[in-house]
Amino acid sequence: MTSPVTIQSHGDVAVVLVDNPPVNALNAAVRLGLCDQMAQVLADPAYKAVVLACAGRTFIGGADIREFDLPNGGGGPGFVEINGFFENRIKPVVAAIHGVALGGGLEIAMACHFRIATRDATFGQPEVKLGFVPGGGATQRLPRAIGITKAVEMIIGGEPIGVNEALGLGLIDDLFEGEPIAAGIAYARKIISEGRPFSALRDDDSKLAAARDNRALFTDSVAAAVKRTPYKETALACAEALGWCLDMPFDEGIDRAWDCFLTMKDSEQSKALRHVFFAERSINKIAGVARDTKRREIKSVAVVGAGTMGGGIAMSFANAGVSVKLIEVGKEALERGLATIRKNYESTAARGGMSKVDANKRISLIQGDVGLEHVADADLIIEAVFETMQIKKDVFVEIDKYAKPGAILATNTSFLDVNAIAAVTRRPEDVVGMHFFSPANIMKLCEIVRGKVTAPDVLATVSALARHIGKVPVVVGVSFGFVGNRMLLPRISQTGKMLLEGAFPQQIDGVARKFGMMGPLAMGDLAGLDIGWRSRKDSGEVSPIDDALCEAGRFGQKTGAGYYRYEPGSRTPIPDPDVEKLIVDTSRKLNVTRRAFSDEEIHERLIYPMINEGVRILEEGIAERASDIDLVWIHGFAWPIQTGGPMHLAERVGLTRVAERLEHLAALDNDNSLRPVPLLKRLADAGKAFVSFK
Ligand code: T1G
């Protein structure tokens, strides 16, 4: 087998070239190749300097994450050994970086003596997002390269930096234009001809001196970075490993960090985060849509409806620097919508969340217009009007009248039948759902709802555009509530049932919070209880406790009282004895005997019925993959990412156990709707995972 790492000989300069598409990930073959080839060039007296460069679109994207679950990590040499070759004291090594240098990629580059990069290169240690500390020495070399404060920021924050910052910090030595191989050789020749001395970061503690004298430099930056990250547990482990660079000899720090990485990569949390990483990549593969499908050109976007959702969607575009037209049928509604947007940006700026200039720039990207005829020049029109089928249909008839041929007509409906909406137009193949989640300017999920005849290029175009504005586009099928809201329904019904039968809001929310999510009742107060109440009045449905709260004027945060009470100007829910009384009275009125609920039962009731619905969704083909469902919950409902989403969690708990507990709940409630759906039982009985279902 040919190695993905080869040597190119250029006189007295050897180029060690990695060619492992698509991102030159460091799999076992690459790791072995790097060691073999480096051993050879270091031993060969013909070479006076070495260049490390990569073929294809990027430098090294990091360790090959797919190998982490293989026995012995896929085999091959480890990172400490590899980096030792680059960090040698025999010959200077230049890393010529284009594209990204991430994780183990940046770690190898830091083991080299010189680093040069193209203008568009980025550098980062994203390991925290995968649930482990960097294993290839970043915790020891990065602080030596750029100082401890910035290293803490990069390693705990996990976000990459660009070349200007990297140059300023001294992470790279120079920039180059053109091909990495040629540039690397030219740089290496310069070093040779100048007889430039070379040294390794391991031998240079100069940038650690300040923090060794004043520990607060380190601890303060850790406190600030840990506060900002959602990956707290991993962040603390990273902080500990970073501290070793101040307290112990280099090699000891390196060895300890490697051991720490090996342990952490096998944790449940890391498995879950890696699952999410691949889930986010697999949504690019849409059934029936070839990867090279030509996308439609989207030069202008219009959002119809300036209410909360329409405004939030418009802000999502403006936040990504894309101009957008906000259209209303009346002047007053438009002005109200624009004023809300302006207020939102101004208060973010006032809180220090963005600069005033930035806020004004975003505000100026949103132009308002009155009248649906203004959709005429838009390439993409997103309808975000009131959630009633007749209103949506009326609006689509109008949009269809004015929109130009080839324009994409999207609806932001959260429950309704996209096919029925498409059917009122003369171009159902151009109609698609783009379901944003509230608050639309914050939540990353966009359910891309595929109608019966939605054209493949429409799906490809809106998915790419959603990604462009920072959203996570998950293609789903038509079904009441699609994926996210459909799975929410069993949770809502279980919550109502538990309240009526014996639990109080703070207990239910406490269990959810402990799991890592906002409590469903605090969330109800935030969203407003009156919306559901009004629509139940129209449909004749009842939800006894919600209805009783609303009849008492408790609509949630907006009235200062809902499931909880709120101090004026505060969003902190405070348990309220009046609510407990109202709940107990409602139970009594309905002759329901109240009983105690254990936290475990609450947890199971909140989560297992929705997993069951997720499996039904999978079985019906409304979601293409179980991992798509996980993304819907992580990015649409702030499900704790550390658990990998509901479907991943189900697999880690064991499908057999989930099925058993659902049977138990169904028997307890005498409620067949809680029985495990056939696919769940089938997979559980066969000991198979969701991926086996196609
Ligand atoms: N391992 C395996 N596969 C990877 C990969 C990786 N590190 N990175 C990307 N891929 C696959 C990805 O699944 C997709 O496959 C294809 O490459 C293109 O990716 C020792 C232990 C590099 C910025 O966390 O951030 O080093 O779907 O669609 O938008 O301390 O991928 O086509 O089959 O995302 O151009 C640290 C993860 C590892 C970087 C490219 N590194 N990757 O983005 O393409 S841990 C990371 C990315 C580590 C050390 C530790 C991005 C990218 P498929 P893509 P892209």
Question: Could you tell me the distance, in angstroms and rounded to a whole number, from the CA of residue 23 to the centre of ligand 1?
Answer: 6
The answer to whether residue 694 scores a pLDDT higher than 80 is no
Alpha-carbon distances of 552 from 174, 436, 549, rounded to whole Å = 68, 32, 5
Omega before residue 473 within 30° of 0, cis: no
Q: Is 158 in the pocket of ligand 1 (CB under 6 A)?
A: no
Burial of residue 640 (CB within 10 Å: 0-12, 13-18, 19+) is: middle
The answer to whether residue 279 scores a pLDDT higher than 90 is yes
Predicted pLDDT at 527:
86
Q: What architecture (CATH level 2) is domain 301-479? A: 3-Layer(aba) Sandwich (3.40)
| Number of CB atoms found within 10 A of residue 295's CB | 14
Residue type, 72: N
Q: Is 25 in the pocket of ligand 1 (CB under 6 A)?
A: yes
The answer to whether residue 537 scores a pLDDT higher than 90 is no
* Residue extent(s) of CATH 3.40.50.720 domains in the chain: 301-479
Predicted pLDDT at 6:
98
**Nearest-CA residue for atom 12 of ligand 1:** 281
Question: Could you tell me the distance, in angstroms and rounded to a whole number, from the CA of residue 353 to the centre of ligand 1?
Answer: 30
Q: Is 62 in the pocket of ligand 1 (CB under 6 A)?
A: yes
**Nearest-CA residue for atom 42 of ligand 1:** 61
Q: Is 104 in the pocket of ligand 1 (CB under 6 A)?
A: yes
In angstroms, the CA 69 to CA 267 distance is: 11
Whole-model pTM? Answer: 0.94
**Nearest-CA residue for atom 20 of ligand 1:** 104
Q: Is 155 in the pocket of ligand 1 (CB under 6 A)?
A: no
CA-nearest of 636, 604, 283, 309 to 484 is 636
Q: What architecture (CATH level 2) is domain 503-589? A: Orthogonal Bundle (1.10)
Q: Is 310 in the pocket of ligand 1 (CB under 6 A)?
A: no
Question: Could you tell me the distance, in angstroms and rounded to a whole number, from the CA of residue 630 to the centre of ligand 1?
Answer: 19
Predicted pLDDT at 383:
98
Task: Read off the pLDDT of each residue in 537-557 and give the average, rounded to a whole number.
Answer: 92
Predicted pLDDT at 531:
81
User: Six-digit token pair at 165?
Assistant: 């910052």
The answer to whether residue 1 scores a pLDDT higher than 80 is no
Residue 629 neighbours by CB under 8 Å, 6+ apart: 483, 487, 614, 617, 618, 623, 645, 646, 647
The answer to whether residue 536 scores a pLDDT higher than 90 is no
Question: Could you tell me the distance, in angstroms and rounded to a whole number, from the CA of residue 646 to the centre of ligand 1?
Answer: 24
Task: Read off the pLDDT of each residue in 534-562 and give the average, rounded to a whole number.
Answer: 92
Q: Is 160 in the pocket of ligand 1 (CB under 6 A)?
A: no
Question: Could you tell me the distance, in angstroms and rounded to a whole number, from the CA of residue 281 to the centre of ligand 1?
Answer: 9
pLDDT digits (tens, 9 = 90+) for 86-137: 999 999 999 999 999 999 999 999 999 999 999 999 999 999 999 999 999 9
Give the 3-state secondary structure of residue 192: helix
Task: Read off the pLDDT of each residue in 384-400 and give the average, rounded to a whole number.
Answer: 95
Do residues 472 and 420 make contact, with C-beta atoms less than 8 angstroms apart? Answer: no
Q: What pLDDT band is residue 538 in, cutting at 50, 70 and 90?
A: confident
pLDDT digits (tens, 9 = 90+) for 463-519: 999 999 999 999 999 999 999 999 999 999 999 999 999 999 999 999 999 999 999
DSSP symbols for 152-189? HHHHHH---EEHHHHHHHTS-SEE--S-HHHHHHHHHH
Q: Is 291 in the pocket of ligand 1 (CB under 6 A)?
A: no
Q: Is 137 in the pocket of ligand 1 (CB under 6 A)?
A: no
**Nearest-CA residue for atom 8 of ligand 1:** 61
pLDDT digits (tens, 9 = 90+) for 72-88: 888 899 999 999 999 99
Q: Is 59 in the pocket of ligand 1 (CB under 6 A)?
A: no
Predicted pLDDT at 554:
97
DSSP symbols for 26-74? B-HHHHHHHHHHHHHHHH-TT-SEEEEEE-TT-S---B-GGGTTSGGGG
In angstroms, the CA 413 to CA 389 distance is: 9
pLDDT digits (tens, 9 = 90+) for 140-155: 999 999 999 999 999 9
User: Six-digit token pair at 688?
Assistant: 């198979």
Strand order through the sheet with 93-97: 5-10, 13-18, 49-54, 93-97, 114-117, 174-175
**Nearest-CA residue for atom 22 of ligand 1:** 61
Question: Could you tell me the distance, in angstroms and rounded to a whole number, from the CA of residue 572 to the centre of ligand 1?
Answer: 40
Q: Is 134 in the pocket of ligand 1 (CB under 6 A)?
A: yes
H helices of 321-388, where? Answer: 331-350, 356-364
**Nearest-CA residue for atom 37 of ligand 1:** 61
Question: Could you tell me the distance, in angstroms and rounded to a whole number, from the CA of residue 313 to the centre of ligand 1?
Answer: 29
Q: Is 22 in the pocket of ligand 1 (CB under 6 A)?
A: yes
The DSSP secondary-structure symbol of 503 reads: -
Alpha-carbon distances of 469 from 1, 319, 425, rounded to whole Å = 42, 8, 27
Question: Could you tell me the distance, in angstroms and rounded to a whole number, from the CA of residue 62 to the centre of ligand 1?
Answer: 7
Is residue 542 left, alpha or beta, with left meaning phi > 0 and alpha meaning psi from -120 to 50?
beta
Q: Is 100 in the pocket of ligand 1 (CB under 6 A)?
A: yes
In angstroms, the CA 601 to CA 599 distance is: 5
Residues involved in catalysis: 107, 127
In ligand 1, which atom is closest to the CA atom of 129? 24
**Nearest-CA residue for atom 14 of ligand 1:** 281
Give the 3-state secondary structure of residue 10: strand
User: Six-digit token pair at 25?
Assistant: 């990930």
Give the 3-state secondary structure of residue 528: coil
Checking 504-511 for CB contacts under 8 A at 24+ apart, the result is 504/575, 504/579, 504/580, 504/583, 505/563, 505/564, 505/575, 505/579, 506/564, 506/575, 507/597, 507/599, 507/602, 508/602, 508/606, 509/573, 510/599, 511/599, 511/602, 511/603, 511/606
**Nearest-CA residue for atom 53 of ligand 1:** 281
Do residues 604 and 498 make contact, with C-beta atoms less than 8 angstroms apart? Answer: no
**Nearest-CA residue for atom 47 of ligand 1:** 61
The DSSP secondary-structure symbol of 450 reads: E
Do residues 514 and 640 make contact, with C-beta atoms less than 8 angstroms apart? Answer: no
pLDDT digits (tens, 9 = 90+) for 313-349: 999 999 999 999 999 999 999 999 999 999 999 999 9
Q: What mean pLDDT, rounded, does the chain reach?
A: 96
Question: Could you tell me the distance, in angstroms and rounded to a whole number, from the CA of residue 586 to the centre of ligand 1?
Answer: 54
Q: What architecture (CATH level 2) is domain 5-266? A: Alpha-Beta Complex (3.90)
> Which one of 31, 54, 64, 65 would you pick to mutate in the ligand 1 pocket, going by the greatest count of ligand atoms within 8 A of its CB?
65
* Residue extent(s) of CATH 1.10.1040.50 domains in the chain: 503-589
CA-nearest of 129, 232, 131 to 516 is 232
Q: What pLDDT band is residue 71 in, cutting at 50, 70 and 90?
A: confident
In angstroms, the CA 599 to CA 328 distance is: 47
The answer to whether residue 445 scores a pLDDT higher than 80 is yes
> Which one of 266, 281, 628 would you pick to mutate in the ligand 1 pocket, going by the greatest count of ligand atoms within 8 A of its CB?
281
Q: What pLDDT band is residue 7 in, cutting at 50, 70 and 90?
A: very high
Q: Is 197 in the pocket of ligand 1 (CB under 6 A)?
A: no
In ligand 1, which atom is closest to the CA atom of 105? 26
Task: Read off the pLDDT of each residue in 585-601 and give the average, rounded to a whole number.
Answer: 97
- Work out the percent of the chain whose per-residue pLDDT is above 70: 100
Question: Could you tell me the distance, in angstroms and rounded to a whole number, from the CA of residue 186 to the centre of ligand 1?
Answer: 29
The answer to whether residue 660 scores a pLDDT higher than 90 is yes
* Residue extent(s) of CATH 3.90.226.10 domains in the chain: 5-266
